[in-house]
């Protein structure tokens, strides 16, 4: 899915001519969503363009708090973000990051629909074709790759803080450069960002290896209730609202927990179902190579990529497990692959 030169030019022209731009990423944002948004915001502000940036809540009501996932609390520019109720209702120009469908903007979906011009910057192969100018390429490792290219096409250079944001985005969605989407071009970009005097080791430690004590307790609880379905090799577990309250863990901190399940060699598919405040389940799926979980998720109303995907569904967890299990044989590849493509789930979020 190659982006045409005309689409790139339309985005460059729209941003260059703007006096004010609203920037939004998907709800429950991951490092790629936040990092990419902050990087472009910093670049635009350096050009004298006023920006308003943030993200919405999962429901349609505007939120009064902006919950930053703790592993990304070090990112420069977080103090400039606004809560949803302060976001423009009908911006003249708006940019949506890492968002494969308008519903993923949550309570800011209305702002996207009312925007004079909406630019979508995304790397998800599935989802809805929305927006007036689409910089979307499902073959890329991260939205950060597209933001870097957009800045280059606008004649800009990266400073250290922008590089920190982009590197965080890149290291998040490549799984520390372990996924198959880590191409030579991705590594060249990482090298260029590191050359701007960023502490890449500290970033990786903060994103991947820094957790609260409550998270460790939550991990133990989730692993204790993990179940392996012998017929389909689906390994699944749940995280409830009660778990989060009792252990004092923020929803956003659970983002990488599924990677522990996926490390089990006998499990073809790993699944974590996290209960939202409204009772629905946010289901994350990971494949070790044989099963196209992107297709599984799409059949159940979600989206994503062949090896990382997810959806939000209502119902009893036993019914959800049954539906996923039934689809695994349908979407099993004829030949197993041992490497995995990288992006986030729910069509967007790695959580």
Q: Is residue 339 predicted with pLDDT exceeding 50? A: no
Question: Per-residue pLDDT for 275 more than 80?
Answer: yes
Contact 272, 317 (CB under 8 A): no
Q: What angle do CA 93, 99, 105 make, to 5 degrees?
A: 70
DSSP-derived 3-state class of residue 25: strand
Look at 285 and 251; give whichever has higher pLDDT.
285
**In this model, does residue 60 exceed pLDDT 90?**
no
Query: What is the per-residue pLDDT for 151?
Result: 98
Q: Looking at mean pLDDT, say which of 203-212, 285-294, 319-328 comes out highest.
A: 319-328
CB 264 within 8 A of CB 270: yes
Per-residue pLDDT of 286-324, as tens digits, reads 998 899 998 999 899 888 778 888 889 999 999 999 999
346 vs 53 pLDDT, higher one: 53
Mean per-residue pLDDT, 107-131: 92
The residues spanned by each domain of the chain are: 5-207, 213-327
| pLDDT single digits (tens) 159-196 | 999 999 999 999 998 888 987 789 999 999 999 999 99
Average pLDDT over residues 212-218: 94
Mean pLDDT of the chain: 90
Residue 338 pLDDT > 70: no
Q: For domain 5-207, which architecture applies? A: Alpha-Beta Complex (3.90)
DSSP letter for each residue of 202-236? HHHHHHHS---HHHHHHHHHHHHT-EEETTTTEEE
Element spanning 270, H or E: strand 269-275
* Sign (positive or negative) of CA dihedral 207, 204, 105, 327: negative
Local structure of 119: helix, strand or coil: strand
Dist CA 180 CA 338 (whole Å): 9
Would you list the DSSP string of 79-102?
Answer: GG---GGGS-SS-SEEEEES-SSG
41 or 182, which is more confident? 41
Q: How far apart are CA 100 and CA 130, in angstroms?
A: 8
Q: What is the pLDDT of residue 348?
A: 42
Q: Which CATH number applies to 213-327: 3.10.310.30, 1.10.1660.10, 3.40.190.10, 3.40.640.10?
A: 3.10.310.30
Question: Per-residue confidence at 335, pLDDT binned at 50, 70, 90?
Answer: very low
């Amino acid at each position: 899915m190659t982006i045409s030169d005309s689409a790139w030019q339309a985005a460059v022209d729209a941003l260059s001519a703007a006096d004010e731009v609203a920037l939004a990423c998907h709800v429950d944002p991951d490092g790629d969503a936040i990092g990419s948004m902050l990087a472009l915001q910093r670049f635009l502000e350096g050009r004298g363009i006023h920006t308003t940036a943030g993200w919405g809540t999962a429901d349609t009501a505007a939120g009064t708090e902006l919950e930053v996932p703790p592993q990304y609390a070090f990112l420069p520019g977080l103090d400039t973000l606004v809560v949803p109720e302060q976001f423009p209702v009908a911006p003249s120009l708006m940019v949506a990051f890492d968002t494969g469908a308008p519903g993923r903007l949550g309570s800011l979906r209305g702002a996207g629909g009312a925007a004079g011009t909406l630019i979508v910057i995304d790397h998800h192969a599935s989802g809805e074709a929305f927006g007036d100018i689409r910089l979307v390429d499902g073959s890329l490792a991260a939205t950060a790759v597209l933001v870097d290219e957009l800045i280059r096409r606008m004649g800009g250079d990266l400073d250290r803080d922008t590089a920190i944001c982009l590197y965080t985005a890149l290291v998040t969605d490549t799984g520390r450069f372990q996924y198959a989407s880590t191409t030579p071009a991705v590594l060249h970009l990482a090298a260029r960002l590191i050359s701007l005097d960023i502490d890449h080791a500290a970033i990786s430690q903060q994103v991947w290896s820094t957790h609260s004590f409550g998270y460790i307790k939550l991990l133990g609880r989730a692993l204790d209730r993990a179940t392996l379905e012998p017929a389909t090799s689906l390994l699944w577990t749940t995280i409830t609202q009660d778990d989060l309250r009792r252990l004092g863990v923020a929803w956003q901190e659970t983002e990488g927990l599924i990677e522990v399940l996926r490390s089990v060699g006998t499990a073809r598919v790993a699944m974590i179902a996290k209960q939202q405040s409204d009772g629905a389940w946010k289901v994350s799926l990971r494949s070790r190579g044989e099963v196209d979980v992107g297709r599984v998720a799409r059949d159940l109303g979600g989206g994503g990529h062949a090896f990382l995907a997810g959806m939000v569904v209502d119902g009893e967890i036993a019914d959800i497990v049954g539906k996923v299990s039934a689809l695994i044989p349908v979407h099993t590849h004829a030949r197993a692959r041992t490497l995995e493509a990288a992006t986030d789930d729910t069509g967007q979020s790695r959580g």
